[in-house]
Chain A
């Protein structure tokens, strides 16, 4: 057995990692996880011969506790961990989901109460489908998380920040903050992270793998490493509406192929998005005041994105081929697109405004349908790169105008892409 896939965990300042921490959402009993302190705390636990029957002479168990988390410590040589109460016998006896050690005595444990910090030991306990809700506050890491546990393709494990009510989708300073220091979070497969902020000093804060979905994450690392980044895509992950900075490094660094960054906002970094890998996509992203907006590998795509105030908008190495740079805005760039070798690259529909040089002339032409209009950003120095009507386009494929318009550059959206919400800008260091 393991903890149920429908377990819902609660983390908050004031919680305790010796608390039970979760409640099975379909248990039909009482949820004791959404409180700072445990509902029941015992120091005289004993186990039966199977290790799943737990008794206490003091007692205090109730039928309402079925489905709640039961943290048992190593005292009395129990196997420390988070367990689920699966059955109630009487005030002195319950059954848990798996053995905590057979025929033990003198144990200590707590039922209910929120946890305090997402430690490696805690998160390795999760089952696919589990959700950890994180209340607004600051969570200080005192060690790294490097998970061997994965979710499942149709049953992701989710960590979701909230401000005052679960599901209120905070951004900016309303979201909970993970203060990593030198430590980091390395996921397994299919871990999702939503509505979080993060600071740290390491080369990465989050390293995410295949099937991970990261949304509305706001991160900054102060590491001096050139490949440092708040988010390291080490697999085919999806980043959506993320907002990140590494002054000496990258907004995002993809160290594996097939990752996608959509509606993200990279700022004040040496590189906005960086990869030497294959087929990474940056769509509807902003690189604001990055030395290089995007530096990408073979068959990578930078589309419908906005690069503002860069030395080089997009950089393509000598050996790189098959790249697609469509419908981007290059504004106030010394060089729009840099190529250092004569390999195949496809450019179309890009807008170059106020750029000293549009493309590396020896290897590139500006491409089909390029323009040089003023994007009329709403407030570029303030970071709002929403565009004016000049960036609306009518396509004429096959000689007939399309009935729909599309837009060049990044589209205004939630936490960053093409601008962002005022609450995001409010803490921006410009």
Chain B
């Protein structure tokens, strides 16, 4: 049974860990965003540890975004209507870019890995800067390439 209250809604950074389990038990939640800005177990996060209360049962999430959440045992994720669900652990690293993390909070690879590879930027976590950089690596690299191309075009015209 589709859950009208929680389907096709935006719950970004909303704490649902203390709702009445009856609101979601034995239902399918379709197309909603439950993403958190930082992983829920990251130090200092203001949100509940689990997406829903630990005792919910038979909850199906279909085409939802549950990034940076931990799911109670009674929750299952499925994909339908041609769209995959997402359940990742993501954090902005010191290069200003979102990186996938392992369960211990260590960076694994950039979320937008293809852009890094296309621009020739290292995807090795060991190459992350030690201190927070102003701006974002990918944006800055694109700017640098564009500026070099413009300078080359100007010099070519001389």
Which A residues have a C-beta under 8 Å from some C-beta of B? 13, 15-19, 115-117, 119, 137-144, 146, 177, 179-183, 199-203, 222-227, 232, 234, 255-256
Are B10 and A143 in contact, CB atoms less than 8 angstroms apart?
no
Contact B114 A146 (CB under 8 A): yes
List the A side residues contacting B98 at CB < 8 Å: 182, 202-203
Q: Smallest CB-CB separation from A15: which chain B residue? A: B81
Beyond A17-B82, A116-B83, 9 additional contacts (C-beta under 8 Å) are A13-B8, A17-B83, A140-B33, A141-B33, A142-B65, A179-B35, A181-B12, A203-B97, A227-B139
A224–B44 alpha-carbon span in the complex (Å): 13
- Give me 9 A-to-B residue pairs in the complex whose CB atoms sit less than 8 angstroms apart, sorted by A's number: A117-B63, A140-B33, A141-B65, A143-B84, A180-B33, A199-B12, A201-B12, A201-B35, A227-B139
Q: How far is the CA of A256 from the CA of B112 in the complex (A)?
A: 21
* Contact among B64, B90, B143 for A256, CB-based, below 8 A: B143
In the bound complex, residues from chain A placing their C-beta under 8 Å from that of B96 are 203, 225, 227
Contact residue among A13, A116, A144 (Cβ-Cβ distance under 8 Å from B112): A144
Contact with A along B85-98 (1 / 0, CB 8 A): 11010101000111
Q: How far is the CA of A32 from the CA of B78 in the complex (A)?
A: 28
How far is it, in angstroms, between the C-alpha of A19 and the C-alpha of B13 when the chains are bound?
A: 32
Q: Are B136 and A227 in contact (CB under 8 A)?
A: yes
Are B81 and A17 in contact, with the CB atoms below 8 A? yes
Partner of B136, one of A117, A224, A225: A225
| 3 tightest Cβ-Cβ pairs between the two chains A and B | A17-B82, A181-B35, A179-B33
Q: At the interface, yes or no: B18 with Cβ under 8 Å from chain A?
A: no
What residues of B have a CB within 8 angstroms of the CB of A225 in the complex? 92, 96, 136
**Do B31 and A255 have beta carbons less than 8 Å apart?**
no
Bound-state Cα–Cα, A117 to B86, Å: 14
A35 vs chain B, min Cβ distance (A)? 14
Q: For B112, what are the chain A residues with a Cβ–Cβ distance below 8 Å? A: 144, 146
A224-B83 contact given A138-B32, A146-B114, A202-B98, CB 8 Å threshold: no
B13 contacts across to A, CB distance below 8 A = 201, 222
User: What is the CA–CA distance of A144 and B97 in the complex, to the nearest angstrom?
Assistant: 13
Give Cα A354 to B114, complex, Å. Answer: 50
- Collect the chain B residues with CB atoms within 8 Å of residue A116's CB: 31, 63, 81-83
Q: Which one, B12, B63, B85, B134, contacts A200 given CB within 8 A? A: B12
